[in-house]
Amino acid sequence: MIVYYMCTYYSQWAHNNIAPRSQDQWYSFKFCRAVKSRLINGTLTFPWNTGPEVINSQSVGRARWIFGLFIQRTLANLHLPNPILVPVPSKDGLLNAQTFRSLEMVQEAIATHGNWIIAPVLRFSQALQPANAGGPRGREALRPYMRVLCDAPPGQIVLVDDIITSGGSLLASYDALAAIGRPPIAAIVCGHTVSDSLLSAFGLHQKNVDTAPQAVQF
């Protein structure tokens, strides 16, 4: 499965322990957080080919709009006749939840870019602490808590997520859908956590992920 992501997310740990963020990495860090939570501290500059765009607290919704444009262009390049977007559930995506953060992110991101079907069929079976607060981390640890509420409509399933670190939630989502005969063919993500201060902050990236249970490395 290929994971497509539009920017690198230079982590706080890397910032503190390896090298300080460059200005562009600060912008991509803020951009990923704006897509994830619709919040921004200060401003960021998004580097369009036609010139930079400043995003602040008044225009923070632009971050999700830009991510939606990335989703649109990625789907166009994949040439899928009938893509079905399945949000990787955020930790508030529980069995009885009518909505959850990552679902709302996807809905807002694509609202003006296309009318693809969003199928929020994945949920966590119980409330879990975030990984940075001691909660389960990684594919094997999260898989027992991932549930498929119902089958997604016919089509090619594409997972959508905001930020991937270990890839645990993404791959647990893949496993849950593959178990019912609906393995996703790709994933589209805003940011991928990295610890290399020399990597470019923005730009199309892709990573071919081995979905075999024993061999996944991010």
Is residue 213 domain-resident?
no
pLDDT of residue 199: 72
Is residue 24 domain-resident?
no
Is residue 20 domain-resident?
no
Q: Which domain holds residue 111?
A: 2-8+63-208
Residue pLDDT, tens place only, 172-193? 999 999 999 999 999 999 999 9
SS3 call for 127: coil
Is residue 143 domain-resident?
yes
Q: State the DSSP string of 156-197.
A: EEEEEEEEESS-HHHHHHHHHHHTTT---SEEEEEEEEE--T
Residue pLDDT, tens place only, 40-64? 999 999 999 889 999 999 999 999 9
Please list the ranges in the chain whose pLDDT falls under 70.
198, 204-218
pTM: predicted TM-score of the whole model, two decimal places = 0.91
pLDDT of residue 208: 61
Instruction: Tally the domains of the chain.
Output: 1
Is residue 188 domain-resident?
yes
CATH of residue 115's domain is 3.40.50
Is residue 58 domain-resident?
no
Is residue 107 domain-resident?
yes
pLDDT of residue 214: 34
Structure tokens that stand for 54 in this block: 């400043």
How far is residue 92 CA from its own chain's centroid?
15
pLDDT of residue 209: 58
| Measured CA distances, 188 to 96, 116, 141, 213 (Å) | 26, 14, 22, 20
pLDDT of residue 105: 98
pLDDT of residue 175: 97
Is residue 52 domain-resident?
no
